[in-house]
Amino acid sequence: MSEASAKAAKTVTAAVLIIGNEILSGRIKDANLNYLALELNKLGIRLREARVVADAEGEIVAAVNELRRSHDYLFTTGGIGPTHDDITAASVAKAFGVALRRHPGAVEALARRLRDPADLNEARLRMANVPEGGVLIDNPLSGAPGFEIGNVFVMAGVPAVMQAMFEALRSRLRGGEPLRARTLVTDLREGDIAERLGELQAHHPEVQIGSYPFYRERRFGVSLVLRATDEAALERTAAELREMLLALGGEAREETPG
Amino acid sequence: MSEASAKAAKTVTAAVLIIGNEILSGRIKDANLNYLALELNKLGIRLREARVVADAEGEIVAAVNELRRSHDYLFTTGGIGPTHDDITAASVAKAFGVALRRHPGAVEALARRLRDPADLNEARLRMANVPEGGVLIDNPLSGAPGFEIGNVFVMAGVPAVMQAMFEALRSRLRGGEPLRARTLVTDLREGDIAERLGELQAHHPEVQIGSYPFYRERRFGVSLVLRATDEAALERTAAELREMLLALGGEAREETPG
Angle at A199 between CA A194 and CA A205, to 5 degrees: 115
Q: What is the pLDDT of residue A257?
A: 63
Q: Is B122 exposed, middle or buried (0-12, 13-18, 19+ CB in 10 A)?
A: exposed
Please give the pLDDT value at position B211. 96
In this predicted structure, the answer to whether residue B233 has a pLDDT above a threshold of 80 is yes
pLDDT at B10 over 90: no
What is the least distance, in Å, from the CA of A83 to any CA of chain B?
5
Going from the C-alpha of B80 to that of each of A144, A212, B77, B123, B162, the distances in angstroms are 44, 11, 8, 12, 11
The span from the CA of B125 to the CA of B189, in Å, is 57
Positive or negative, the CA dihedral B18, B23, B28, B30 is positive
Which one of B26, B49, B124 has the shortest CB-CB distance to A41?
Answer: B26
- Locate the chain B residue with the closest alpha carbon to A216: B160
Tell me the C-alpha distance between A239 and B213, whole Å: 49
Among the partner residues B41, B197, B202, nearest to A83 by beta-carbon distance: B197
| pLDDT at position B167 | 97
Lowest mean pLDDT among A113-117, A185-189, A241-245: A113-117
| CA-based nearest residue to A146, from A124, A125, A161 | A161
Write the CA distances from A103 to A18, A77, B136, integer angstroms: 24, 20, 56
In this predicted model, which residue has the larger pLDDT, B67 or A220? B67
> Of B54, B119, B65, whose CA–CA distance to B96 is shortest?
B65
For residue A216, give the H/E element and its range.
Answer: strand A208-216
- Residue A181: burial class (beta carbons within 10 Å; 0-12, 13-18, 19+): middle
Is residue A195 within 8 angstroms of chain B, CB to CB? yes
Contacts of B88 in chain A (CB under 8 A): none
Provide the 10 A C-beta neighbour count for residue A94: 19
Q: Is the pLDDT of residue B67 over 80?
A: yes
* Closest residue on chain B to A217 (Cα): B160
Q: What is the DSSP string of A35-59?
A: HHHHHHHHTTEEEEEEEEE-S-HHH
Chain A neighbors of B178, CB-CB under 8 A: none
User: Cα(A12)–Cα(A192) distance, rounded to whole angstroms?
Assistant: 36
User: A194 and B123 in contact by Cβ < 8 A?
Assistant: yes
The mean of the pLDDT values for chain B is 93
Report whether pLDDT(A51) > 60.
yes
Distance (Å, whole) CA B185 – CA B188: 9
Chain B, 84-113: which have a CB under 8 Å from a chain A CB? 84-86
For the cut 90, the answer to whether the pLDDT of residue A74 exceeds it is yes
- Domains present along chain B, CATH in parentheses: 3-172 (3.40.980.10), 180-255 (3.30.70.260)
Best mutation target, A18, A27, A208, to test chain B (most B CBs within 10 A):
A27
Q: What are phi and psi of A47, to 5 degrees?
A: -75, 120
| Residue B88, min C-alpha distance to chain A (Å) | 14
DSSP lists the bridge partners of residue A228 as: A180
Mean pLDDT of A117-144: 95
* pLDDT surpassing 50 at residue A186: yes
> pLDDT, tens digit, for every residue of B107-119?
999 999 998 988 9
Residue A239 CB coordination number (10 Å): 11
Confidence category of residue A220, pLDDT binned at 50, 70, 90: confident
Rounded Cα distance, B56 and B53, in Å? 8
Quote the pLDDT of residue A217: 80
In tens, the pLDDT along B138-169 reads 999 988 999 999 999 999 999 999 999 999 99
Taking CA atoms, B205 is separated from A52, A123, B228, in Å, by 24, 20, 10
**Within an 8 Å CB–CB cutoff, is residue B212 touching chain A?**
yes
pLDDT > 70: percent of chain A? 96
C-alpha–C-alpha distance, residues A98 and A82, integer Å: 21
Q: What is the CA radius of gyration of chain A?
A: 22
Question: Do B71 and A196 contact (CB within 8 A), yes or no?
Answer: no
Q: What is the chain B residue with the closest CA to A221?
A: B158
Are the C-beta atoms of residues A73 and A153 closer than 8 Å to each other? yes
What letter represents residue A91's amino acid?
A: S
Q: How much is the pTM? A: 0.94
Strands, sheet with A180-186, edge to edge from the N-terminal-most edge strand = A208-216, A219-228, A180-186, A253-255
Q: Is B163 in CB contact (< 8 Å) with chain A?
A: no
CB atoms within 10 A of CB B58: 11
Cα–Cα distance between A236 and A241 in angstroms, integer? 9
Contact at CB, A83 and B41, closer than 8 angstroms? no
List A residues 13-52 in contact with B (Cβ-Cβ < 8 A). 21-30, 33-38, 41, 46-52
Nearest to B191 among A59, A124, A209 (CB): A124
Name the pLDDT band for A9 (thresholds 50, 70, 90): low
Per residue, what are the HEC states of B175-225? Answer: CCCCCEEEEEEECCCHHHHHHHHHHHHHHCCCCEEEEEEEEECCEEEEEEE
Closest CA to A32 of A92, A87, A75, A80: A75
Residue-wise pLDDT for B220-230, tens only, equals 899 999 999 99
pLDDT mean across residues, chain A = 93
pLDDT at B172 over 90: yes
What's the average model confidence in pLDDT over A25-51? 96
- Name the DSSP letter for residue B126: G
